[in-house]
Amino acid sequence: MLKSKSPPINLDEYLDGQHRHFVTYWEGAREIGIAYWSFVSLAKEANATIRMGRYVIVDIDVVNDYIEETYGDNEGDDGDMPKARKKIENLEGLVKTGGKKYVRIAEGAELYSVSEKTFSAWADDANAKRHVKGVVLVNVEKVEAFIESFNEGRLY
């Protein structure tokens, strides 16, 4: 007996009138800067996964919004933050092009050529820290806006 194939998935229903950014689990974990399985559970919690046959894609915009809503008001210290697993190549380029919205404290300190303590203080002042599954992530866009706010109204 022949199995009937399921109809192809219509991506237009997901993309209709919207600019969406879909990634795989691996790409999303790298973009956010957390471990693979932490990202898988985070994406599932955020209801950002779309099953396409045996493949799964993740709407990274939904994950980013979920991080902002769920972990946005958490206060805490960096004491139990795991260290980055590997160095991200071309970090500055990824941040400038919007390919990486969140960085860890050490990555941000390297990006701005300051100490981790200074970058952590900037992130606190900018309200850009998010505590996600034992990892502290910093929204680079908010830190950029915080830094730029010091330039307004000054004459050199």
- pLDDT 10s digits, 93-149: 656 555 678 888 888 888 888 888 989 999 999 999 988 888 888 988 898 888 888
Helix residue ranges, H only, 46-103: 60-71, 91-96
Amino acid at 145: A
Neighbours of 60 (CB within 10 A): 20
Q: Is residue 37 part of a domain?
A: yes
Q: Is residue 3 part of a domain?
A: no
Tell me which of 45 and 19 has the higher pLDDT.
45
**Residue 50: predicted pLDDT:** 86
Angle between helices 60-71 and 36-45 (to 10 degrees): 80
**Residue 23: predicted pLDDT:** 86
Q: Is residue 154 part of a domain?
A: no
pTM of the model: 0.47
Q: Is residue 8 part of a domain?
A: no
User: Residue 40 belongs to what domain range?
Assistant: 20-74+91-148
Cα–Cα dist 101/18, whole Å = 20
**Residue 78: predicted pLDDT:** 44
Domain count, the chain: 1
Mean pLDDT over 28-34 rounds to 83
Residue written as token pair 């805490």: 76
Residue 7 and residue 52 in contact, taking contact as beta carbons nearer than 8 Å: no
Residue 44 and residue 58 in contact, taking contact as beta carbons nearer than 8 Å: no
Q: Is residue 10 part of a domain?
A: no
Tell me which of 94 and 5 has the higher pLDDT.
5
Written as six digits, the tokens of 47 are: 């209801």
